[in-house]
């Protein structure tokens, strides 16, 4: 493969170049200087997302700005400021790559809304080589332009990183308005960038702990609407819901098993808080922990065979792990810092996001192999981390003097951004799984 | 606070769930294990414990510590021996050898001249014997010619020796460029320029090994980049090619003789 600069080349020329390139690789070069590169920089990749054609200035959904926002939020890309764009090409043929090289962009996305808004075409190029990396027409067919834009972000992100984009996913969270005793609780589902919030449950009594089913169709959550805690599972499409646990005492912290058939929950029916697993089809309840201490906030490992949870059995909150096959074998996982709680497994199961106390309550990532704990945020009151389904970003709730709001941090800690909260106090975000392809 | 929770939770749950709820809602540390601030809402997960309220003995006494290994210090291999001395030695040997050859040549030339002179003397004596009245003129001419031949031979030998000396000196200088660090300096400049421009994707981990063959123009402009063997994914391959183009024009060497048009660049990140 030879990568030379230039604009689009005819196929034959490309083939010739390819053949020449192969020959060159096959025959080792003669006199040459050898360099070993062992380090790189950790910067975000500069990318230009040019305003799409066929859209009026100030259109209600500016596709390019949604795509640029998505890419920025991923922490891996640094979109070029629009005011720095000298030209505004809307198709590959109009791109003068030298201009964009001078602007130090590595990639460029151009596109336009076609055929009276029935489709959006876009192209992705490598600015350095002039190579076209993607060219697609996305039919709008019933979707909002915002959804189309998120889809384009997904495709661009996946092509450039090799990681599936999570921009078409959703987040669920609890919003609280008003002051006690007159408070209004809402369970809200919004786009992953915080747009399009939709209330799916409302109550004057506390709602908490939303958890997505693995198919993204349902949410489990805790409601105090009957003045006692109970766990509900609600289908989002129909609003139909089922009360799955209303046992004496506390019913809390539901988390779906990876196969969606069971819920890990926290109950106090036997005197103190312990972890149980509830089979959603048979209603069978299995006790997992029975320590005198408080055990709560269970999280499933992706294999569905292990639970991670918070316990104060050592005198302060730490994360433990228990195998469902042998519940007598409980292992302590965290040792750094005097407080580690609310574990969540990364989608690949290799890391644990948690809340740790280190000058403040901060979100940290623990590598399960090396046991290294890495600080991701430096807030005073950060809580409830939840992974995007691609593991690249973590959403969490943060409270710093003002009311709680949502924020995101890339799982390498490089990029952080606060989402504007619609209203009230926002907490306990949960990131949805991928939508079906 | 653990005591508080344990003492109060159980009787409360035994008696009245509603009261529990109210206590939890309004009451002390029900919100988080963590907050000292009055909780706004009841949070199940948080129930009950504030680490700061724990009895000191519990807090300090029970915290376990896992002995963590010292960060492994990487044993660095000793720096590769610079072939400086060896090369200089061989250059010196070469020069000595050449000097010896030149000297030998000179000696031979002298012997030759002596032999010729001896022959001329003989002839002269013969001529004297044959013609005692031989023409002194002729003899003188002959003598002159011989002297000239000897002189020429000497001059030629000197010239040759000088040429050889100069050649050897040039060779030595070439070796000096190669050894003096000018090349290393150039290499370092190039490495720095490319490393600064390599936006390393997360998939570029230790164990990655990718080779690029790069051609540059005299001014450092990158002409083309060919991808050689590479075990990285598409994001890695694109990032390394872009790193070289981003670094174009590549830095010029301090000594123009160190310039190399063709570069073989191996990306093998550590860590």
Judge: B203–A229 Cβ closer than 8 Å, yes or no. Answer: no
A40 with B198: CB under 8 angstroms?
yes
Q: What are phi and psi of B131, to 5 degrees?
A: -125, 95
Instruction: For residues A129-133, give the mean pLDDT.
Output: 95
User: For B39, which residue in chain A has the nearest alpha carbon?
Assistant: A180
Which pLDDT score is estimated for B73?
40
Which pLDDT score is estimated for B8?
52
- pLDDT tens digit sequence for A249-275: 999 999 999 999 999 999 998 789 999
Half-sphere exposure of B64 (CA within 13 A, CB side): 13
B247 CA: distance to closest CA in chain A (Å): 11
Q: How confident is the model at residue A246 (pLDDT cuts 50, 70, 90)?
A: very high
**Reduced DSSP (H G I as helix, E B as strand, rest coil) percent helix, strand, coil of chain B, to 5:** 60, 10, 35
Judge: B266–A34 Cβ closer than 8 Å, yes or no. Answer: yes
Judge: B197–A180 Cβ closer than 8 Å, yes or no. Answer: no
Q: Say if residue A333 is exposed, middle or buried (CB neighbours under 10 Å; 0-12, 13-18, 19+).
A: middle
CA distance B268 to B243: 14
Residue of higher predicted confidence among A277 and A413? A277
Residue A160, pLDDT above cutoff 70: yes
Q: What ipTM describes this predicted complex? A: 0.78
Residue of higher predicted confidence among B37 and A194? A194
Three-class SS string for chain A? CEECCCCCCCHHHHHHHHHHHHHHHHCCCCCCEEEEECCCECCCEEEEECCCECCCCCCCCCHHHHHHHHHHHCCCEEECCHHHCCCCCCCHHHCCHHHHHHCCCCEEEEEEEEHHHCEEEEEEEECCCCCEEEEEEEECCCCCHHHHHHHHHHHHHHHHHCCCCCCCCEEEEEEEECCCCCCEEEEEEEECCCCCCEEEEEECCCEEEEEECCCCCEEEEEECCCCCCEEEEEECCCCCEEEEECCCCCEEEEEECCCCCEEEEEECCCCCCEEEEEECCCCCEEECCCCCCCEEEEEECCCCCEEEEEECCCCCCEEEEEECCEEEEEEECCCCCCCEEEEEECCCCCEEEEEEEECEEEEEEEECCCCCEEECCCCCEEEEEEECCCCCEEEEEECCCCCCEEEEEECCCCCEEECCCCCCEEEEEEECCCCCC
Question: Which one of A2, A35, A273 has the shortest CB-CB distance to B190?
Answer: A35
Q: β-strand A107-114 against A45-49: which pairing, if any?
A: parallel
Written as six digits, the tokens of B235 are 């994001």
CA distance A51 to A54: 9
Which pLDDT score is estimated for A180?
78
Judge: A183–B198 Cβ closer than 8 Å, yes or no. Answer: no
Q: What is the mean pLDDT of chain A?
A: 91
Beta-sheet strand order (sheet of A318-323): A295-300, A306-311, A318-323, A326-332
| CATH code of the domain made up of A43-161 | 3.40.50.10070
Residue A13, pLDDT above cutoff 70: no
Judge: B63–A341 Cβ closer than 8 Å, yes or no. Answer: no
Written as six digits, the tokens of B14 are 């035994």
- pLDDT tens digit sequence for B122-162: 877 777 777 776 667 777 788 888 888 888 888 888 888 88
Domain boundaries, chain A: 43-161, 170-431
B74 CA: distance to closest CA in chain A (Å): 16
Pick the CATH number of B182-267 from 3.30.450.40, 1.10.3720.10, 1.20.1740.10, 3.30.1150.10: 3.30.1150.10
| CA gyration radius, chain B | 45
Question: Which one of B47, B241, B242 has the shortest CB-CB distance to A250?
Answer: B47
Residue of higher predicted confidence among A41 and B13? A41
A99 CA: distance to closest CA in chain B (Å): 14
Residues of B in contact with A412 (CB under 8 A): 202
- pLDDT tens digit sequence for A72-104: 988 899 999 999 999 999 999 999 999 999 999
Question: Which one of B32, B204, B245 has the shortest CB-CB distance to A40?
Answer: B204
Judge: A129–B245 Cβ closer than 8 Å, yes or no. Answer: yes
Which pLDDT score is estimated for A57?
72
A147 with A165: CB under 8 angstroms?
no
Residues of B in contact with A38 (CB under 8 A): 195, 268-270
Instruction: For residues A207-216, give the mean pLDDT.
Output: 97
Which pLDDT score is estimated for A318?
97
Residues of B in contact with A338 (CB under 8 A): 51, 59, 63
Residue A299, pLDDT above cutoff 80: yes
Question: In terms of Cα–Cα distance, which of A228, A229, A240, A227 is closest to A201?
Answer: A240
Instruction: For residues A10-27, give the mean pLDDT.
Output: 50
Q: How confident is the model at residue A228 (pLDDT cuts 50, 70, 90)?
A: very high
Residues of A in contact with B35 (CB under 8 A): 381
Residue of higher predicted confidence among A423 and B44? A423
Tokens 């104060």 -> residue: A312
Question: Which one of B64, B200, B263 has the shortest CB-CB distance to A33?
Answer: B263
Judge: B48–A294 Cβ closer than 8 Å, yes or no. Answer: yes
Determine which of B33, B193, B246 to mutate to test the interface with A (most A C-beta atoms within 10 Å).
B33
Query: C-alpha B75: how far from its chain's center?
Result: 19
CATH class in words for A170-431:
mainly beta
Centre a 10 Å sphere on the Cβ of residue A224 and count the other Cβ atoms it contains: 22
Using DSSP, state whether B210 is helix, strand or coil: strand
A122 with A138: CB under 8 angstroms?
yes
Q: From first to last of the 271 residues of chain B, give the pLDDT tens digit.
A: 444 444 554 544 555 554 544 444 454 444 444 444 443 333 334 334 444 444 443 333 333 232 333 433 434 444 444 445 555 666 677 777 777 777 777 777 777 778 877 877 887 777 777 777 666 777 778 888 888 888 888 888 888 888 888 877 767 666 666 656 888 999 999 999 999 999 998 888 889 999 999 999 999 999 999 999 999 999 999 999 999 999 999 999 988 889 999 999 999 998 7
Inter-chain CB pairs, A–B, below 8 Å = 232
Q: Which residues of A136-172 are buried (b: 16+ CB within 10 A; e: fewer)?
A: eebebeeeebbbbbbbbbbbbbebbbbbbbbbbbbbb
């Amino acid at each position: 493969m030879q990568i030379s600069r230039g604009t689009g080349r005819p196929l034959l020329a490309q083939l010739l170049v390819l053949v020449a390139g192969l020959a060159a690789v096959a025959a080792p070069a003669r006199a040459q200087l050898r360099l070993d590169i062992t380090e790189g920089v950790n910067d975000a990749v500069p990318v230009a997302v040019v305003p799409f054609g066929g859209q009026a200035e100030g259109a209600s959904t500016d596709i390019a700005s949604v795509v640029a926002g998505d890419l920025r939020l991923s922490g891996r890309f640094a979109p070029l400021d629009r005011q720095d764009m000298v030209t505004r090409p809307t198709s590959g043929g109009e791109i003068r790559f030298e201009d964009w090289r001078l602007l130090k962009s590595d990639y460029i996305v151009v596109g336009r809304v076609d055929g009276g808004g029935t489709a959006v075409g876009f192209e992705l190029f490598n600015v350095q080589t002039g190579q076209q990396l993607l060219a697609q027409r996305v039919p709008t067919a019933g979707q909002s332009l915002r959804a189309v834009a998120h889809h384009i972000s997904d495709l661009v992100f996946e092509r450039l990183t090799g990681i599936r984009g999570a921009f078409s996913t959703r987040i669920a969270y609890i919003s609280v308005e008003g002051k006690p005793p007159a408070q209004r609780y809402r369970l809200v589902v919004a786009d992953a960038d915080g747009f399009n919030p939709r209330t799916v449950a409302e109550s004057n009594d506390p709602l908490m702990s939303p958890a997505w089913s693995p198919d993204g169709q349902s949410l489990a959550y805790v409601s105090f609407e009957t003045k006692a805690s109970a766990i509900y599972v609600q289908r989002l499409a129909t609003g139909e819901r089922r009360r799955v646990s209303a046992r004496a005492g506390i019913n809390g912290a539901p988390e779906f098993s990876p196969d969606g058939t069971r819920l890990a929950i926290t109950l106090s029916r036997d005197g103190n808080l312990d972890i149980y697993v509830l089979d959603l089809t048979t209603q069978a309840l299995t006790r997992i922990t029975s320590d005198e201490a408080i055990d709560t906030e269970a999280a499933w490992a992706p294999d569905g065979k292990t639970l991670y949870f918070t316990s104060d059995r050592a005198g302060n909150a730490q994360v433990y792990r228990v195998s469902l096959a042998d519940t007598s074998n409980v292992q302590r996982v965290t040792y750094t810092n005097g407080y580690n709680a609310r574990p969540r497994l990364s989608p690949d199961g290799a890391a644990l996001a948690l809340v740790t106390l280190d000058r403040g309550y901060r979100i940290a990532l623990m590598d399960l192999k090396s046991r290294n704990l890495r600080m991701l945020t430096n807030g005073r009151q950060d809580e409830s981390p939840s992974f995007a389904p691609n593991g690249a970003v973590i959403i969490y709730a943060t409270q710093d003097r003002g009311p709680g709001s949502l924020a995101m941090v890339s799982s390498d800690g490089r990029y952080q951004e606060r989402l504007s909260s619609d209203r009230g106090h926002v907490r306990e975000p949960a990131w949805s799984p991928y939508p079906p392809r | 606070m653990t005591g508080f929770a344990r003492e109060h939770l159980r009787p409360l749950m035994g008696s009245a769930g509603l009261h529990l709820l109210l206590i939890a809602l309004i009451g002390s540390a029900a919100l988080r294990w963590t907050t000292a601030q009055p909780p706004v809402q009841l949070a199940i997960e948080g129930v009950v414990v504030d680490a700061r309220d724990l009895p000191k003995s519990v807090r300090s006494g029970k915290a376990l510590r896992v002995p963590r290994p010292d960060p492994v210090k990487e044993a660095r291999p000793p720096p590769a021996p610079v072939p400086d001395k060896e090369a200089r030695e061989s250059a010196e040997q070469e020069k000595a050898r050449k000097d010896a050859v030149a000297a030998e040549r000179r000696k031979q030339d002298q012997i030759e001249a002596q032999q010729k002179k001896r022959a001329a003397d003989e002839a002269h004596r013969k001529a004297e014997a044959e013609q005692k009245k031989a023409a002194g003129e002729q003899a003188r001419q002959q003598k002159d010619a011989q002297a000239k031949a000897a002189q020429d031979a000497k001059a030629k030998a000197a010239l040759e020796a000088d040429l050889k000396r100069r050649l050897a000196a040039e060779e030595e200088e070439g070796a000096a460029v190669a050894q003096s660090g000018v090349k290393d300096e150039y290499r370092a400049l190039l490495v720095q320029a490319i490393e600064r421009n390599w936006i390393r994707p997360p998939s570029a981990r230790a164990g990655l090994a990718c080779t690029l063959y790069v051609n540059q123009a005299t001014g450092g402009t990158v002409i083309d980049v060919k991808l050689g063997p590479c075990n990285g994914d598409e994001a890695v391959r694109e990032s390394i090619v872009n790193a070289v183009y981003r670094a174009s024009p590549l830095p010029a060497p301090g000594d123009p003789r160190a310039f190399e048009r063709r570069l073989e660049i191996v990306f093998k990140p550590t860590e």
